[in-house]
């Protein structure tokens, strides 16, 4: 229903014109009150649609239609469903009164009441109805705003996904799974050949949720892959993280910072060099043995004086490397507690090599709860991740 403004709007439905005149005079002293009377009950709803009352005064005994039946029609009609109805009748009958309330009446007065009481009842019910309309309008505006925000987040998530590198085959096979959370976290990741021998690989997780962190992550990713950094920098994990730290101080980015794991694989020497800034470790899987490649320093953007030591290891044919964000393992279990890094490590070690990525997605979907601590009542499965889910797999020939 449209807004009814700030004044009381009284509709009287009574077949007696003298009652209509009496009521008009009772409320005539109320300068901020609009009044309309209907003698034919068959026209009550039609007039209500046009007049938009904030309260209806309804007689019971009328020719051709019982006022109690008309209350039911009010409650079934969109324009009058929630408008308060005060029964105004000459009978003080408890059974009739009970029936009126059962059908949806808001109040009951024996006519004609004292003007002070009638005006007070009108004021009370009309005010409550107008406040309800205002609340409904506020909720509708909030829902529209949330829908708009959700649409913006979905567009941002689609944009982030469009920037992620395509799966890769060759001497290094790369594939990934990315599931943005409902609020959109700040995950981005990528990989690219710096030259014929060196493959850069990284995963970034910006603090917070929403479009801002996502765009900051994209900016950091673009700095790595756009060629803005010198070749000697991107070949050296230490210098790459130092360059990112200089470019993204949290004081100039609304207090946001990010974690990163950055590695460079030399296919000629088979050496993997990496440095991690406050990010979860990457997992190197060889056979059934899994090794953690831990971060070597703290988050990007926290301090100006930043050191990021580089670690190195040699890879063998058949090795698999997994990069991921904390949204993959910091999951609330149905039975309580967290499905943590140890559980992810154990699951990866025992998963079939052919479908590791999909297996991890399925397992986390099984254990994770949504932000309200609820699961899908139909399937019992989780309905959302609390944070972005980013998992990248590298296989080395």
pLDDT digits (tens, 9 = 90+) for 58-86: 999 888 888 999 999 999 999 999 999 99
Q: Say whether pLDDT at 376 is over 80.
A: no
Pinpoint the alpha helices (H) of the chain. Answer: 17-28, 44-51, 67-76, 94-103, 115-163, 211-225, 231-234, 237-247, 341-350, 356-367
The pLDDT, as a whole number, for residue 154 is 79
Mean pLDDT, residues 151-159: 82
> Cα separations (Å) of 195 from 46, 81, 156, 265, 267?
78, 71, 31, 11, 11
8-137 CATH fold: Rossmann fold (3.40.50)
Name the 3-class secondary structure at 389: strand
For residue 327, give the nearest of 309, 340, 316 by alpha carbon.
340
| Domain ranges in the chain with CATH number 3.40.50.2300 | 8-137
Query: Domain 164-396 adopts which CATH fold?
Result: Phosphatase 2c; domain 1 (3.60.40)
pTM: 0.69
What letter would DSSP give residue 228?
A: -
Q: What is the reported pLDDT for 258?
A: 97
* Sheet arrangement for strand 186-193: 186-193, 198-206, 258-266, 271-277, 311-314
CA atoms of 339 and 317, how far apart (whole Å): 31
In the chain, % helix, strand, coil (3-state, to 5) comes to 40, 25, 35
Residue 90 has what pLDDT?
Answer: 81
Summarised one tens digit per residue, pLDDT across range 86-132 is 998 887 889 999 999 999 999 999 988 888 899 999 999 999 998 99
How many angstroms separate the CA atoms of 364 and 356, rounded?
12
Going by pLDDT thresholds of 50, 70 and 90, the confidence category of residue 353 is confident
Q: Taking Cα atoms as reference points, which of 214, 211, 180 lies closest to residue 389?
A: 180
Q: What is the mean pLDDT of the chain?
A: 88
**What is the DSSP code (8-state) at residue 354?**
G
pLDDT band at 377 (very low <50, low <70, confident <90, very high): very low
CA distance 388 to 397: 30
For range 26-36, the mean pLDDT: 82
- pLDDT of 380 higher than 50: no
Summarize pLDDT for 245-262 with one digit per residue, the tens: 999 999 999 999 999 999
Do 277 and 260 form a contact (C-beta atoms < 8 A)? yes
Phi, psi angles (nearest 5°) of residue 230: -65, 155
Does residue 199 carry a pLDDT above 90? Answer: yes
Tokens 């140890």 found at = 342
CB distance 240 to 275 below 8 Å: yes
Average pLDDT, integer, range 283-306: 94
Token pair listed for 239: 């210098």
> Where, residue-wise, is CATH 3.60.40.10 in the chain?
164-396
């Amino acid at each position: 229903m449209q807004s009814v403004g700030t004044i009381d709007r009284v509709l009287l439905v009574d077949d007696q014109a003298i009652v209509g005149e009496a009521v008009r005079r009772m409320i005539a002293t109320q300068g901020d009150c609009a009044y309309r009377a209907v003698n034919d009950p068959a026209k009550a709803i039609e007039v209500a649609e046009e007049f938009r009352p904030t309260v209806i005064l309804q007689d019971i005994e009328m020719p051709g239609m019982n006022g109690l039946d008309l209350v039911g029609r009010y409650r079934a009609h969109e324009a009058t469903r929630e408008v308060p109805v005060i029964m105004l009748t000459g009978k003080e009958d408890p059974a009739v009164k009970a029936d009126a309330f059962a059908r949806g009446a808001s109040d009951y007065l024996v006519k004609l009441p004292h003007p002070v009481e009638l005006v007070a009842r009108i004021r009370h019910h009309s005010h409550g109805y107008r406040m309800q309309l205002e609340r409904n309008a506020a909720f509708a505006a909030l829902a529209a705003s949330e829908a708009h925000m959700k649409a913006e987040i979905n567009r941002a998530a689609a944009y982030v996904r469009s920037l992620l590198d395509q799966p890769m085959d060759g001497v290094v096979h790369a594939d990934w799974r990315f599931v943005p959370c409902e609020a959109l976290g700040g995950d981005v990741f990528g990989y690219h050949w710096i030259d014929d021998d060196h493959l850069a690989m990284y995963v970034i997780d910006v603090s917070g949720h929403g479009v801002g962190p996502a765009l900051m992550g994209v900016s950091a990713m673009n700095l790595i892959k756009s060629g803005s950094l010198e070749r000697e920098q991107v070949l050296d994990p230490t210098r790459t993280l130092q360059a990112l730290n200089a470019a993204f101080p949290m004081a100039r980015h609304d207090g946001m910072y990010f974690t990163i794991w950055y590695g460079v694989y030399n296919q000629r020497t088979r050496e993997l060099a990496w440095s991690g800034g406050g990010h979860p470790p990457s997992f190197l899987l060889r056979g059934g043995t899994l090794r953690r490649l831990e971060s070597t320093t703290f988050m990007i953007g926290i301090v100006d004086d930043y050191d990021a030591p580089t670690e190195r290891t040699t890879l063998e044919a058949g090795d698999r490397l997994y990069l991921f964000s904390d949204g993959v393992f910091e999951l609330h279990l149905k039975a309580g507690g967290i499905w943590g890094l140890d559980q992810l490590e154990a699951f990866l070690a025992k998963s079939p090599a052919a479908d590791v990525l999909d297996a991890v997605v399925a397992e986390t979907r099984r254990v994770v709860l949504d932000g309200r601590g609820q699961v899908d009542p139909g399937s019992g499965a989780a309905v959302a991740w609390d944070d972005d889910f980013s998992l990248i797999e590298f296989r080395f020939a």
